Amino acid sequence: MTTSREVRLKSRPSGLPTNDHFEIVSVTLPDPAAGEVQVKNTWMTVDPYMRGRMYDGPSYAAPFQVGQAMDGGAVGTVVKSNDPAFKEGDTVQSGFGWREAFNAPAKQVQKLDTMGLAPQLFLGSLGMPGLTAYAGLMRIAGFKTGDVVFVSGGAGAVGSMVAQIAKLKGGTVVATAGGADKVAFLKDIGVDHAIDYKAGDLAKSVTEAVPGGIDIYFDNVGGDHLEAAIGAAKNHARFAICGGISAYNNIGAAPGPKNFLLTVGKRLKIEGFIVSDHWDLMGEYAKEMSGWIKSGKVQVRETVEDGIDNAVNAFLKLFSGGNLGKMLVKL
Amino acid sequence: MTTSREVRLKSRPSGLPTNDHFEIVSVTLPDPAAGEVQVKNTWMTVDPYMRGRMYDGPSYAAPFQVGQAMDGGAVGTVVKSNDPAFKEGDTVQSGFGWREAFNAPAKQVQKLDTMGLAPQLFLGSLGMPGLTAYAGLMRIAGFKTGDVVFVSGGAGAVGSMVAQIAKLKGGTVVATAGGADKVAFLKDIGVDHAIDYKAGDLAKSVTEAVPGGIDIYFDNVGGDHLEAAIGAAKNHARFAICGGISAYNNIGAAPGPKNFLLTVGKRLKIEGFIVSDHWDLMGEYAKEMSGWIKSGKVQVRETVEDGIDNAVNAFLKLFSGGNLGKMLVKL
């Protein structure tokens, strides 16, 4: 018998969520049944896409259910095993985030070979957000050496990987973030043109940074960032639409890009994508990225909140710019 | 010495153009110089894209100049030739529209083999608008047999070709037009679901017509049509953005699609295009389309205005829905 606390969705938020939409509940875990393992989570992730799962509607990810624990990525340690495939002390990855510990069928957790790296990296640069960056940049946008890449949310978990991958592969990078600390981080990681979107006219800043225009836009933000990208696009530019965090908490519809019609004359290709269509790239990506991290060619930044009590706060900070790099909860 | 009348841009319109933005001026043509021909136009075309050329800004087509004759597609007859490549009576095609007659270097006009068909077809179904339909549907949107194709402006020069090509190649077609006459025409040409966008809730009409969603959207209209298409799109649908006539006369920016963010979850591919990138397809297209027209498999509808005095009216009617099929001026 073990006690665990878990975060449940208490009610569906309309607009920006608050702590009141969630509750933390203690549960007791029996010993794992045959074929099960018991895992104590050491890290869990919060990601912007989870906001979409708080709506009750058809989407690419099933909605969270009111009154039930939410789920999401986590890494942890097997503390009890009732399955021959796992033993106590194994480091594992699972979709059972938002809780301190859990029992699950052995098939629903994966052994994690950390390759000597910190395990939480597999929730960020070496996990879903990193692969999102890679798939969007390389496969959706079709990055080629010499491309001018504009990435919004450049200091975030996905954006900071887009920026660094593009630099390492021979691109010129324009990236936006909000505030001086984040802009300093962008410069640290080699971004050619780091723009504080809160500090001036965004569209003007982008066109002044790269008067010749952009070949690729990687969108994490939407809204005025997307408009600025359409305005700055070269003919035949490619847009990888990963998300639009500026609108995730909108009540009702968000305004679309007012200059959308430039799509015709500029022959833009705008493509939305979700990472789960691109897991086939994980092998090549993890190999390349782990090498870059080990050699110091890629810098990984994390913002860490402590304990399950702060998990909701960590999530909410994603929408107020409270994270530099990957937002994580240490359990 | 011959007299010709030509339509000049008198001032740049803001918003919907009126007759006051244009003037008709008589000019005298000398005999053609060495290497030149003199052509009497028999037909000229007016097309929505010409509105964009009335703005003074960088675009894919050079702006018309105030005080000068506009240009555009025309077919005509050589009346005097001072070049061995042409003789009197030759039927030719040129970019010297908006005028009754002209002198030009022989290299700037092309002999037209009408294949026994009416010459004005080469300004419509067998010309630029037809190729626009074909390139957008086949190359940009990657049409495949069985696709559900939604085309806005389905009774227009481009849209009516999109609808018929998609039907002949084994698609299901949803098309919109304004008013009962146009909807009747859509049914005549075999459209599966003909929607009068003026008669009800457009988005609802589309999803009711094809509850399973659309694979392809071919956009001539923009605005609420584009939004309805995003809403009705299946996962991985492809959008060929040809134009957005609903916004061509907007003063200031047009609102973008409010549901743009569905692009991510649905993994939509939205691509703008212009026909001049796709002239390489003209050979295969003209061969296929001329066969279809001769055999009666494709119906061509024209709305014809008479004489240069009505050329501006013909153009303006494009923006009030005054054309069924291709709008032409008979000179």
pLDDT at A249: 83
Kindly give, in sequence order, each residue whose CB lies less than 8 Å from that of residue A263, ignoring residues fewer than 6 positions away: A230, A270, B241, B270, B271, B272
Q: How far apart are CA B195 and CA B175, in angstroms?
A: 6
Judging by beta carbons within 10 Å of its beta carbon (0-12, 13-18, 19+), is residue B310 exposed, middle or buried?
A: middle
Is the Cα dihedral A102, A106, A109, A110 positive or negative? positive
CATH 3.90.180.10 residue window(s) in chain B: 2-124+300-330
pLDDT at B249: 83
- Tens place of pLDDT per residue across chain B (331 aa): 799 999 999 999 999 999 999 999 999 999 999 999 999 999 999 999 999 999 987 777 789 999 999 999 999 999 999 999 999 999 999 999 999 999 999 999 999 999 999 999 999 999 999 999 999 999 999 999 999 999 999 999 999 999 999 999 999 999 999 999 999 999 999 999 999 999 999 999 999 999 999 999 999 999 999 999 999 999 999 999 999 988 888 877 778 899 999 999 999 999 999 999 999 999 999 999 999 999 999 999 999 999 999 999 999 999 999 999 999 999 9
Give Cα separations from A128 to A97, A135, A286 (angstroms).
14, 10, 11
Global pTM value = 0.95
Q: How far apart are CA A101 and CA A123, in angstroms?
A: 17
CATH class of A2-124+300-330: alpha beta
Per the listing, tokens 């294949």 go with B115
DSSP type of residue A87: -
Q: Does B264 sit within 8 Å of A244, measured CB to CB?
A: yes
Which pLDDT tens digit goes with each residue over A249-278? 887 777 889 999 999 999 999 999 999 999
For helices B159-168 and B180-188, give the axis angle rounded to 10 degrees.
30
Helix and strand counts by DSSP (H, E) for chain A: 8, 15
> Which has more confidence, A58 or B308?
B308
B128-277 placed in CATH 1.10.10.10? no
What are the phi and psi torsion angles at B105 (to 5°)? -55, 140
Tokens found for residue A49: 């896409």
DSSP type of residue B105: E
Phi-psi region at B98: left, alpha or beta (left = phi > 0; alpha = psi -120 to 50): left
- Pick from B60, B241, B258: CB nearest A256: B258
> Which has more confidence, A1 or A274?
A274
Instruction: Suggest the residue from B260, B267, B274, B276 to mutate for an interface test with chain A (most A CBs closer than 10 A).
Output: B260
Helix, strand, or coil here: A289? helix
Q: CB contacts < 8 Å between A and B, how many? A: 103
Q: Does B222 sit within 8 Å of A265, measured CB to CB?
A: no
Instruction: Suggest the residue from A264, A271, A276 to mutate for an interface test with chain B (most B CBs closer than 10 A).
Output: A264
pLDDT at A1: 79
Residue of chain A minimizing CA distance to B259: A253
SS (H, E, C) A110-139: EECCCCCCCHHHHHCCCCHHHHHHHHHHHH
Q: Does A256 sit within 8 Å of B272, measured CB to CB?
A: no
Which pLDDT tens digit goes with each residue over A160-211? 999 999 999 999 999 999 999 999 999 999 999 999 999 999 999 999 999 9
CATH 3.40.50.720 residue window(s) in chain A: 128-277
pLDDT at A310: 97
Is the Cα dihedral A205, A209, A213, A217 positive or negative? negative
